[in-house]
Structure 1
Amino acid sequence: MSQFIDDDREMPRFRVNRQAMVDPEVFAKERDQIFNQVWLYIGHETELKKPNDFKTRNVAGRPLIFGRDSKGKIQVWINSCPHRGAMICREPEGNARFMTCFYHGWSFSSGGELVSMPGDTSYGPDFERPGLVAPAKVDSYRGFVFVSFNPDVEPLVEYLAGATDFIDLVADQSEEGMRVLEGTHEYSVKANWKLLVENSVDGYHAVSTHQRYFEMVMASGVEIDSAKLGQSVGLDLGNGHAVIAGGPATGGLFGRPLSKEGTAERDSRFEEFRAKYGDEWLDRMSGSRNLVIFPNLVIIDLVMGVVVRKIDPLAPDYMEVSAWELIPPEEGDELKRQRLDNFLTFWGPGGLASPDDVEALETCQRSFASSKELPWSDVSRGMAGEDQPVGSDELQMRAWWRRWNALITGEVLPGEQHNPPPASYTAPRRVPEQQPTT
């Protein structure tokens, strides 16, 4: 048994020491041994619509500029002037060919080159004029852009491992390419960041924590099918990534019913995808998925909405969260309206799910003041037995914690051995046939 993880295969039992949630030394190790080493999400390509668009973001405690240069290429820069360190972009977003540091007036192009500096001649003809500095690595997968501060990090696709399948299931829902809507849902939680990672792939808490939401849905005339609630599995995707994958037709299960027109449009769109990708991939696509990409990115495709959630730890007991909605832009107005309504009702700042989750996590963090008397949290559900754990079990959290433990302590714990899930949960993506050119 390590300092933080009790992974007992004989009982079986899996526990996490609550010191991992409160200890400043653990938090410092996370910054150094996780966030400085792996791939981290910064944003989606569709947030930057035009050349010279930019957003400012924080990743691993570092201020970054996420933008397109004048030629339309995605660029990421450290948001710090190489002269004396002042932030170059202090606005959350904008469009500018040139970015000028307000401190001493050094100006840079959207491609990162230093283009002017007051009193240029005072520096001499041989002075090396520094440009903006980029993170060690920048790459993207299906529109999702990641950075790494580790020059030796493995290629992004290798890092994502089995998570690529579930990103594809989201990205394939649009012929034009899934697009992030304008606006960001930003909030903070007075709790350790790892609690929200757990919560994001925790199917066990749904009915008890979100009782008000289910009562509202049932009051609108929907009958919650308990059989469908059980049609999900938890999957370890490698490298700490994990997912709750729902079976066919669970994607809209938890939301208010679509109108007749909305249902007809959605069915028509999915039939087009069936012809393109085949029955098995379409069945997977029409299901739901709660995906965590280690360490702090969550993509949830549920209740007729896709939320992209970035979790930023700022202290052992405090995190900031940024969330965006991803949509297929070719949807009609009625279906888009209902998608937005379902999204806001469940995840929005005044919704009936996110505030419940925040309250639950903050009460956990307050109770961790008694971690000496009650040192362990249990994450054992679904560990016993040969069958693949279902979505209300906790395999997905254990997979994440084993990766966390390996990076923090160096101890590599083996994955669990269960019978494989039904093939319908893992059917491969059929490559669409290329249309003949004329």
Structure 2
Amino acid sequence: MVTQNKTRESSLVVDDRENGLFRVNRKAFLDEEILHMEREKIFNRCWLFLGHASELPNPNDFVTRNVGGKELIFNRDRKGEFHAFLNTCPHRGAMVERQESGNSIAFKCFYHGWAFNNNGNYATRHQKGTYPENFNHDGCANLIPVKLEQYRDFFFVNYDDGANSLDSYLADAKIIFDLIDQHGPDGMEVVGGAQKYSIRSNWKLLMENSYDGYHALDTHETYFKYLTEAIGGPAEMPKVTNVMNLKNGHASIEGDAPWGRPVAKWIPAWGENAKSEVEEIKREVVSRVGAERANRICQLGRNTGIFPNLVINDIMAITIRTFYPVEPGVMNVTAWALGVKGEKRDFRKRRLDNFLEFLGPGGFATPDDVEALESAYRGYAAYKLAPWNDISRGMSRGQGEPFKADDEEQMRCFWREWDRRMGGE
């Protein structure tokens, strides 16, 4: 819904609500000092997605990954409790665990052999006299824990000890995680491993792109031609019925679309044999959550951005995607696919096919989007002559008038929070 607030303008963001104008200075994508500020004011203070509970199904399981520029261990201890530790030895700083995943009751640094239980406690026995008897009485030799909280099966970390709770931070975005978790009676799981790739563009452009309905038909024309054959008729523009400002910079677009969904939206390309199975899945969802909620889960899809850099695309498949800046013009992207726990093999295959054909790095969409973002970034070389990006579409709609599929309000939600955190108020 449209709300009318006073105009606000900083050096990088123009939010002129009286005249329906929203612009972002391209310097925000190019400047090294701005990236330094983002690391301090955003990535060091916001809740950042770490991983999904299904990645650690057993006690002593672990994964390692870089989150917000810091190497972390995400693990379960012998009792099954979840932890997040900085993956750096308190002795001299080397990475303690160098494998990407595994199962271990302890971690050992290869540099000098310091060892730690998987609850983070120092576990090395040194020769008598090499260290004081009360060495580590203050925990100085333990692995350093990171603030860790979860909502449903999604785990987040925060490097700011004074940060508000994850529950408060997610605000109205919790409904997105609720809807995803209700796809199946036993919840969801990460399917297979992760896809990792780099894009030569600024990280904020991928957040914009991930819920940008305006670009779909032009940029992904090839996919919509393919989809016309798959569904046995014209592939129309997705019908966005809800643009959600989820607070704290989070936003989502929701609506019906022509593609099939493994959670119970059949299309002719799947064959008549699959139709009854899809109907059975939908009946199960209805029995569990009610008809209205089931229709939202089965029929409607969502593209969601969780500030600052988590994207959840619940469309023809479900992907979780994070992206971190290496420099102003380079980002590293990691993507995971989610599937229903215990779903039938043919539906799991269909889910993965959907994921790969559109959302995967070699699919119909991702190469198009990468080219668009890299092309835009090359264009910013002339930013002193052409300094502004326009994100005004739909801003002048009247009070209470719903936004449309190709409006840009969801991006404005991101930029208002970005500007606030960067000191634009």
Which residue pairs with 1:393 in the alignment? 407
Q: Does the 8 Å CA contact 1:45/1:144 hold for their aligned counterparts?
A: yes
Which residue pairs with 2:249 in the alignment? 240
Question: Quick check: 1:339 aligned with 2:361?
Answer: no
Aligned length, in residue pairs: 408
Which residue pairs with 1:177 in the alignment? 187
Question: Quick check: 1:25 aligned with 2:39?
Answer: no
Deviations 1:373-415 (A, max 9, x none): 000001111112121212321000000100000000241xxxx
Which residue pairs with 1:277 in the alignment? 289
Q: Does the 8 Å CA contact 1:178/1:329 hold for their aligned counterparts?
A: yes
Deviations 1:58-114 (A, max 9, x none): 111100001111111111000000011110011111111111100100001111111
Which residue pairs with 1:131 in the alignment? 142
Aligned amino acid, residue 147 of structure 1: V
The alignment partner of 1:161 has SS state of helix
Equivalent-residue separation in structure 1 for 2:291 and 2:235 (angstroms): 23
CA RMSD of aligned residues (A): 1.8
Q: Does the 8 Å CA contact 1:247/1:284 hold for their aligned counterparts?
A: no
Which residue pairs with 1:105 in the alignment? 113
Deviations 1:222-279 (A, max 9, x none): 32453x7224332111000000111498763898833333332222122222122122
Structure 2: give runs of 5+ residues left out of the alignment: 1-8
Q: Does the 8 Å CA contact 2:231/2:259 hold for their aligned counterparts?
A: no
Equivalent-residue separation in structure 1 for 2:119 and 2:391 (angstroms): 47
Percent identity, aligned pairs only, is 42
Which residue pairs with 1:52 in the alignment? 60
What is the TM-score with the length of structure 1 in the denominator?
0.89
Which residue pairs with 1:290 in the alignment? 303
Which residue pairs with 2:101 in the alignment? 93
Which residue pairs with 1:381 in the alignment? 393
What is the TM-score with the length of structure 2 in the denominator?
0.92
Aligned amino acid, residue 159 of structure 1: Y
Taking the TM superposition and a 5 Å limit, the aligned residue runs for 1:200-349 are 200-226=210-236, 229-247=238-256, 252=261, 257-286=269-298, 287-303=300-316, 305-349=317-361
Equivalent-residue separation in structure 2 for 1:410 and 1:4 (angstroms): 8
The alignment partner of 2:123 has SS state of strand
Deviations 1:130-153 (A, max 9, x none): 211011x21001100000011111
Which residue pairs with 1:114 in the alignment? 122
| Inter-CA distance 219–134: structure 2 relative to 1 (3 Å threshold) | same
Aligned amino acid, residue 43 of structure 2: F
Q: Does the 8 Å CA contact 1:106/1:118 hold for their aligned counterparts?
A: no
Structure 1: give runs of 5+ residues left out of the alignment: 412-438
Shift of 1:118: 4.2
Shift of 1:120: 5.5
Aligned amino acid, residue 151 of structure 2: Y
Equivalent-residue separation in structure 1 for 2:267 and 2:67 (angstroms): 32
Q: Does the 8 Å CA contact 1:217/1:255 hold for their aligned counterparts?
A: no
The alignment partner of 1:116 has SS state of coil
Q: Does the 8 Å CA contact 2:266/2:275 hold for their aligned counterparts?
A: no
Shift of 1:335: 1.4
Which residue pairs with 1:193 in the alignment? 203
Aligned amino acid, residue 148 of structure 2: V
Q: Does the 8 Å CA contact 1:255/1:342 hold for their aligned counterparts?
A: no
